[in-house]
Chains A and B, each alone.
Chain A
Amino acid sequence: MKLSLAGSRSALRRIFSDKLAARSFLLAASLPLLLLLLMAAALLFRTLPIFQFVSPWEFLTGDLWRPSQGEFGLSTFISGTLWVTLLALILAVPPCIFASIFLVEYARRGTLRGILPAIDLLAGIPSVVYGVWGLLVVVPLVPRLGQFLRGVFGDLPFLTSSNPTGFSILAGGIVLAVMISPIIVSITVEVLRTVPQGVREAALAVGATRWQAIKHAVLPNALPGIIAAAVMGLSRAFGETLAVMMVVGNTPAIPRSVFDPGYPLTALIANNYGEMMSIPRYDAALMGAALLLLVVVIIFNVLSAMVLARLGQEVSS
């Protein structure tokens, strides 16, 4: 058959519009990445002035934060963030793994189908709601827990504090643990479901119990994915601001105990952005804190995305 339209005007127009469509979709798709780069560049640009004043090392490790006197050290805030995040992970990861194992390996399919949407719903609750819940429920409980622990065990490292209120990194950790649980459970459930049924059956067929099959056949296969799920939770916890800010006490001192108050980086930025323009270099210091958060969260996300992608490839091959 002859290509009667070749070279004609309408053919050229169609080829052109096809190319145009492809280009514009590419542009739309690369927009998020572009925005991220722009954001990082802007933060970096606004941070740089602080380094004429303090060295990057001093900025990260100094423990004095007196903007009016020109002292900018982030270490108390970094340690506040690390404490709260670590605590949230310790509290959230083991129960989430057990819950996921139950849902995938033991529960009936119907149970899983009923519970997964509820878990996704939990992930969508605004963080201020979690914050209020923390304020009303968790904060009052924390001092009682502290008294109880002291009554039973006496003075223990990391568990003894002179803080009379419940505003503490423990309260922050508990609220955060609840907030990051949905993402950890939903990723872990997905990961466990990618383990082929034949692998379970291989263990069961030689007389293993369900738990033995899970422990020796399923979990080793799923481990990288479970770690990635925990890292996803970690980066979520790292960046969470409002709910933590409401319960953590916001006292700029390095915590010595889980019952001490703390002051995470995110809370620092949120509490002070209003006055940052009135003090020289204050804005640059806060931008530096934001840049630090951004970089750490990007690193965590990229790492876990890489692990999950590789896991997906292995399963499909």
Chain B
Amino acid sequence: MDSHISIKDLNVYYGANQALKSVDLEIPRNQITAIIGPSGCGKSTLLKTLNRFHDLVDNTRVEGEVKFDDIDIYAPDVDVTEVRTKIGLIAQRPYLLPMSIFDNVAFGLRIHDMTNRREVKGHVEKYLKLAGLWDEVKDRLTQPATSLSIGQQQRLCLARGLAVEPEVLLGDEPTSALDPISAKNIEGSLKELKSQYTIVIVTHVLRQARRLADYVVFMYLGELVEAGPASKVLSSPKDPRTKAYLSGEM
């Protein structure tokens, strides 16, 4: 397997609580990996170690190794903003920046020193198209982003995340706040994007994992119980805990 991110002996502590226990995981390149498991099992915690969002919270300690290609993203000489540029995140709910539709997408480009207006415009258009939003917003780019519907807002966040050209896209239950049609749109985009990006999503919807995932990771109580190709893990799980979860007994 060609792994894009490789995690070794990862432990995460919130104060005295251990949220992740010695996790080892290889995340395959250009596939959709779904992290599943019951609430509080450490799915989101695992996801947030990948773009170093734990740095933002006091009293959180991350131990172990997270290698992105060959670089340990927790090494002291690594620039965290670069990590987050390469490994983008789509949040659970669309959080907009207080600016126009256009500027929401252009924001990431501008903070990374893209100053040529035509270039910025080209990128904004390209990624709005990739997120499937261009046709709906092309005539109202200067309007505030809050004027969009919530489904459109989430696709705008997707475009914003894509515009800085990451290699990995993380999604923390990216469709959980959306109506079924908007959710389907986002799922469609993710499927199209996987040829160019490595995608990791956290989901508590098993059917979504079945629809989307090439690779499935099952977590329980901070432990990684089972990981493997979706067809195997979802249809013939080895571990009894995975079986119990998949059959709805957990």
Contact = CB atoms under 8 A, between A and B. Distances in A.
A204 B57 CA distance: 13
9 contacts: A109-B58, A201-B56, A205-B84, A205-B89, A206-B163, A207-B108, A208-B108, A209-B81, A221-B98
A19 interface: no
Interface string B96-115: 11110000000110011000
Given A201-B56, A202-B157, A196 B111 contact: no
A216 B107 CA distance: 9
A107 B96 CA distance: 25
Given A108-B58, A109-B58, A203 B97 contact: yes
Contacts, number: 69
A147 interface: no
B239 interface: no
Contacts of A110: 58
Nearest to A195: B98
A205 B47 CA distance: 13
Among all A-B residue pairs, the 10 with the closest Cβ atoms: A207-B85, A206-B108, A198-B95, A220-B98, A205-B89, A202-B95, A207-B81, A207-B84, A206-B164, A108-B58
B161 interface: yes
A200 B82 CA distance: 17
B93 interface: yes
Contact of A206 (B53, B58, B96, B107): B107
Interface residues of B, number: 26
B15 to A, nearest CB: 12
A286 B93 CA distance: 58
A217 interface: yes
Interface of A: 108-110, 196, 198-209, 212, 216-217, 220-221
Interface in B41-100: 51, 53, 56, 58, 81-82, 84-85, 88-89, 91, 93, 95-99
Contact of A204 (B56, B82, B98): B56
B81 A198 contact: no
A199 B97 CA distance: 6
Given A208-B81, A221-B98, A203 B107 contact: yes
Contact of A212 (B93, B96, B111): B111
A56 B161 CA distance: 61
Contact of A217 (B84, B97, B157): B97
Contacts of B160: 202, 206
Contacts of A206: 84-85, 88, 107-108, 111, 160-161, 163-164
A206 B84 CA distance: 6
A205 B164 CA distance: 10
B164 A201 contact: no
